[in-house]
Structures are given as C-alpha cells and as structure tokens.
Amino acid sequence: MADGSSETKSSNQMWGGRFASGPDAIMEEINASIGFDKKLYAQDIRGSIAHATMLAHQGIISAEDKDKIVHGLDTILSEIESGAFEFSRRLEDIHMNVEARLATLIGPAAGRLHTARSRNDQVALDFRLWVKEELQKTEKALTALIAAFLDRAEEHADTVMPGFTHLQTAQPVTFGHHCMAYVEMFGRDRSRVRHAIEHMDESPIGAAALAGTGFPIDRHMTAKALGFREPTRNSIDTVSDRDFALEFLSIASIAATHLSRLAEEIVIWSTPQFGFIRLSDAFSTGSSIMPQKKNPDAAELVRAKTGRINGSLIALLTVMKGLPLAYSKDMQEDKEQVFDAAESLELAIAAMTGMVRDMSVRADRMKAAAGSGYSTATDLADWLVREAGLPFRDAHHVTGRAVALAEQKSCDLADLSLADLQSIDAAITEKVFDVLTVEASVASRTSFGGTAPAEVRKQIAWWRARN
Ligand code: ARG
C-alpha cells in the first residue's frame, strides 16, 4: 500500500473542495480504513454497478456514461484480483480508492457514479453484503459439522459411556446420545444464522447520507439486482444501523461457546486418565521435550478463539452504544471486529469438524468408566419403585445404603450379592440384577429424547432428514 506521505500536503480529491491543505499524517493514519476495508472490494464494485445501472434506467445518468462506468468497474475488479491494483491510504477507504481509479480509467463520467448516494449508504451496503455472504458460508460449515456428528452418533448409538453432572459420574448414556447433544446445539446455531440472513435481507443503498435523495431513484430495482428481498424503510436508521454486524457477532459468540465446550470435552476425553478418545495425528501435536505426549492443541485453540470472538461482540456493542443517529465515524471500527471474528469462527468450525470426523473412540474405556461410580444407582431406585412399590424417596434412601455397602466392600452395585441387597431391603429379588448393568440402564431410558439406542436412532433419522 502506498503510504502517500509525500502527497499529504494536497487536499483530498474526493471531499477536499473546502479544504486548503491536506491532513496531518497522524490524521491520515487514524482516518484511513483501506488497510482492512479493502476486503470489501467485490461488494463495493457490485454495489456500484447496480447503482449506476439503476441511475441510467431512471434517466439520471446517460446510458453511455453507465457503460463506461460499468466497464471501468469491471477492469478495477480484475486489477484488484490480479494484485495489480495500488491501494492508497491517502484515499482513505475502499470506496474512494475504487472511485479515484475509475476517474483515471474513464475520465469525467466517473464523477457521475456518486449521484444520489453517499459513502454512508455505500458502506452500509458493502458491509451488509459481506456479512450476508459470511453467514451463508457459516451455514454450510455448520452443516458439515453436524454431518460429522451424525456419522459418529450413528456409529456409536450403542456405545455406553458415563454421563456426567458436575463432571461427576451421573448415569450411563451412549456416546451417540452425547454426540446428538452437539447436533442440537449446532442446529440451533444454524437456525440463528438462517434467521439473521432473513433479518438483514434489506438493501441500504439509496438512503444516501441519511435523508434520502431528491433524484428519482428506484431502490426496489437496486435491492433486487443485489439479491435483497426489499429496500430498508427508513433512511436515517439505514445509515445508523449495524445490527446485522452485532447479530453476526452474537451468533458467532454463541456458536463459539458451543465449540469451546466441545473443545473442553475433547481435552478431557483425550487425557490418559480418561482415555475416551484418541485424536488423529492430523489434529494433535507432540511435545518438544516429553516424547510420550500427544497434545490437543487444535481443541485448545478453538477454546481460546472463543475469547477472541466474544471480545469482538463486546467491542462493537461498546462502539455503538453511545452513538447519536445517524452515521458517525466510530462506525468504521465495526469491520475489523467482524472480519477477525469471522476468520476465527470459520477456522474453529473447520478444525472441530476435522477432529470429530477423525478421532478414534475407545468404546472399551468408555464402557469401563460407565460402570464405575455407581452409575446405575438410579436404576436400582427406579426398580424398587416399579417392582417393590416403594415411594421414590424411600427407594432413594435404600439405594443410598446399597451404595454405602458397595463402597465399604470396594465393589460395584452389580457385584453385591442378593443376600447383601436383601439385608437392606427384603423386597429385593434376583430380578434386580437385570437393571444393574450399564447396557440395561441405557436401554431402559426410552422416554422421548432419552439415551436408549432406539431413541437416539430416531433422533439421528430426524436430523438426517433436515441436514
Ligand atoms: N470508511 C468509512 C466507514 O467505514 C466509510 C463511510 C465514511 N462516511 C463518512 N461520512 N465519512 O465507515
């Protein structure tokens, strides 16, 4: 990028009419956004082509000028894409960089492009188009992640593992069921993405600086050409609004929070102490000093990216909270937050999709852990209610005594003898042993949404039809 330091003495060619001299170098540095908003070049050019086409259609500019403008903009697009374009900080932002180059390429006709628009509606348009496309990418990425989970869930619909509350063994569940919990979470994220796309599907262009314009523009025409459902309805709101960026960041923060919880579980599961999964070599690293180690770095980085994405949401909320209507330059600070969060989220979803797809599940370790920690105690209590007619609170108490006895004998509930159990409650019979295994426990949980393999398979089928 040209730093333009030798050019700072002349006033800005786009808005410099009333300025006798150019900006101070520090002013130029704080003011310029080209360093990051050049990312919007394709949206800026698309928006300008739609605007020029509408201006000509409405008789506001001539067809010849429109053709020159469109041709020039096409040239600029290829220059930028081939790397030949020289961005200049003196020209502040992407909008003025493109327009200045257009003037060099086509001469005075370039000056007609900015009729009936302002950079305020132009930037609102460019950024909205960019965020909308990013949301469409996010939707696809989430679909791939959900697909990876559905495959693992299907494969492990019968694999028993301990379910936890407070990270203490609670009740046996299946790994398939646990995977489907993430499908629900990422499914909600995806539906938030879809709602946000619908929400922001209104075209800002034509709001002009803030008040609209006296030129006979057709905002429905530009909205349609740019793939929006309709134009925005209030020009003041249009140039003041960054809800679409805030919505993107809040959706990203919630999705990242889900990814971070998954990352945390992967970190825990892959420890030698748990040993529930083995990460593939492709998604882990070694230690430079301890040869035995295999570290879950990708999962840890996903967990950390969440902090960064949440930070972006808070940063933009804070930028926006004190702004009077309509546009203020503060709003230029919206883009870096969104660009950074979008890059982090894309990477985090892709890394997680790879980890979930590639990790090997150690069903033997999961099953062994599922049976420890008296995980079938609730099954014993439920049996006492069902078969011996005890009120649940009494059954809970009897079971507590059985657990204490097993603890004293250092064995599992299923290893207690019938005589042991009958010494606690005479109503217990041989049949109780049918419910004390982890397989019997999970198979019995057939309530809608429960962990029984048959029920989990139903959930998988429901999602398959929607993914
Ligand atoms: N670079 C500016 C931004 O990103 C474009 C809009 C500038 N508008 C203005 N009135 N100075 O917000």
Q: What is the pLDDT of residues 93-107, one digit of tens each?
A: 999 999 999 999 999
d(CA 233, CA 333) in angstroms, rounded, equals: 25
Q: Is the CB of 44 under 6 A from ligand 1?
A: no
Report residue 4 CA to chain centroid gap: 38
Number of residues in the chain: 467
d(CA 446, CA 49) in angstroms, rounded, equals: 59
Burial of 214 from C-beta contacts in 10 A (0-12 / 13-18 / 19+): exposed
With 60 as the cut, is the pLDDT of residue 109 above it? yes
Q: In the prediction, which pLDDT does 10 show?
A: 64
> Ligand 1: distance of its center to the CA of 121 in Å?
9
Of 87, 118, 120, 337, the one to substitute when testing ligand 1's pocket (max ligand atoms within 8 A of C-beta) is 120
Q: What is the pLDDT of residues 58-68, one digit of tens each?
A: 999 999 999 99
> Ligand 1: distance of its center to the CA of 329 in Å?
6
Q: What is the pLDDT of residues 27-79, one digit of tens each?
A: 999 999 999 999 999 999 999 999 999 999 999 999 999 999 999 999 999 99
> Ligand 1: distance of its center to the CA of 125 in Å?
12
Q: In the prediction, which pLDDT does 7 show?
A: 44
Q: In the prediction, which pLDDT does 168 show?
A: 92
Q: In the prediction, which pLDDT does 52 show?
A: 98
With 60 as the cut, is the pLDDT of residue 1 above it? no
Of 15, 34, 119, the one to substitute when testing ligand 1's pocket (max ligand atoms within 8 A of C-beta) is 119
d(CA 451, CA 174) in angstroms, rounded, equals: 6
Q: In the prediction, which pLDDT does 171 show?
A: 92
Q: In the prediction, which pLDDT does 358 show?
A: 94
Report residue 395 CA to chain centroid gap: 45
Contact between residue 112 and residue 323 where contact means Cβ atoms under 8 Å apart: no
> Quick one: average pLDDT of 358-385?
92
Q: What is the pLDDT of residues 268-306, one digit of tens each?
A: 999 999 999 999 888 887 777 777 777 899 999 999 999
Q: Is the CB of 240 under 6 A from ligand 1?
A: no
> Quick one: average pLDDT of 136-156?
98
pTM: 0.92
Q: Is the CB of 12 under 6 A from ligand 1?
A: no
Q: In the prediction, which pLDDT does 3 show?
A: 44
Q: Is the CB of 119 under 6 A from ligand 1?
A: yes
- Judge whether 220 counts as a catalytic residue: no
Higher pLDDT, 356 or 280: 356
- Which residue matches tokens 């970190």? 267
- Report the number of secondary-structure helices (H) and strands (E) in the chain: 18, 6
Q: Of these residues, 166, 288, 360, 410, which one is catalytic?
A: 166
Q: Is the CB of 94 under 6 A from ligand 1?
A: no
- Judge whether 287 counts as a catalytic residue: yes
Pairing type for strands 360-361 and 202-203 reads: unpaired
Q: Is the CB of 332 under 6 A from ligand 1?
A: yes
With 50 as the cut, is the pLDDT of residue 4 above it? no
> Ligand 1: distance of its center to the CA of 42 in Å?
17
Q: Is the CB of 100 under 6 A from ligand 1?
A: no
Q: Of these residues, 5, 62, 287, 417, which one is catalytic?
A: 287
Q: What are the residues whose beta carbons fall under 8 Å from the beta carbon of 131, sequence distance 6 or more?
A: 200, 244, 245, 248, 338
Q: What is the pLDDT of residues 398-428, one digit of tens each?
A: 999 999 999 999 998 889 999 999 999 999 9
To the nearest whole percent, how much of the chain has pLDDT over 90?
A: 87
> Quick one: average pLDDT of 446-451?
96
Peptide bond into 147 cis (omega under 30): no
| pLDDT-based confidence at residue 26 (cuts at 50, 70, 90) | very high
Q: In the prediction, which pLDDT does 8 show?
A: 42
Instruction: Report the chain's mean pLDDT, rounded to a whole number.
Output: 94
For residue 203, the surrounding DSSP H or E stretch is: strand 202-203
> Ligand 1: distance of its center to the CA of 423 in Å?
81
How many CB atoms are located within 10 Å of the residue 93 CB? 26
> Ligand 1: distance of its center to the CA of 428 in Å?
77
Q: Is the CB of 123 under 6 A from ligand 1?
A: yes
Residue with the nearest Cα to atom 10 of ligand 1?
Answer: 120
Q: Which two tokens stand for residue 184?
A: 């629900």
Residue 99's φ and ψ, nearest 5 degrees, are -65, -40
Q: What is the pLDDT of residues 186-228, one digit of tens each?
A: 999 999 999 999 999 999 999 999 999 999 999 999 999 999 9
| pLDDT-based confidence at residue 372 (cuts at 50, 70, 90) | confident
Residue with the nearest Cα to atom 1 of ligand 1?
Answer: 93
| Contacts of the segment 20-24: beta carbons below 8 A, 24+ positions apart | 22/90
12-21, 49-58, 310-319, 345-354: least confident range: 12-21
Q: In the prediction, which pLDDT does 289 show?
A: 72
Q: Is the CB of 122 under 6 A from ligand 1?
A: no
To the nearest whole percent, how much of the chain has pLDDT over 70?
A: 98
- Which residue matches tokens 């499914």? 187
Instruction: Provide the sign of the torsion angle of the four alpha carbons 417, 421, 422, 428, taken in this order.
Output: negative
Domains observed in the chain: 25-112 (1.10.275.10), 119-159+166-364 (1.20.200.10), 369-465 (1.10.40.30)
